[in-house]
Amino acid sequence: MKNSRVTAIISSCLAIDSMAVRLYADFAVLFEGHELEAFWQEMSKEEETHVVFWRGMLKLARAGDIPEVFEEPEKVAGELKDVEAKV
């Protein structure tokens, strides 16, 4: 793991979007037979594209192929961990 700060940030983004996929899919089930079912299914599907993106980015980060792009990476990582905990 070449850049653990970037890896931590991307891991949090992956975790948050993964939770969103499941949450939106659960909402779709709750609204089964209602017009909102399709909306929540679409939201879940869209979040899945984000999950695929973050998985790819995580592989690159672990290989050291993503540079540090944040001025305060510890702050960003901490804020994302807070969001993740709230979700």
Q: In this predicted model, what pLDDT tens digit does every residue of 6-64 receive, in sequence order?
A: 999 999 999 999 999 999 999 999 999 999 999 999 999 999 999 999 999 999 999 99
Could you tell me the pTM of the whole model?
Answer: 0.88
pLDDT at 87: 84
Instruction: Return d(Cα 83, Cα 85) in angstroms, integer.
Output: 5
What is the per-residue burial (b if ≥16 Cβ within 10 Å, else e) of 23-41? Answer: ebbebbeeeeeeeeeeebb
With a CB cutoff of 8 Å and minimum separation 6, the contacts of 19 are 84, 87
**What residue type is assigned to position 33 of the chain?**
G
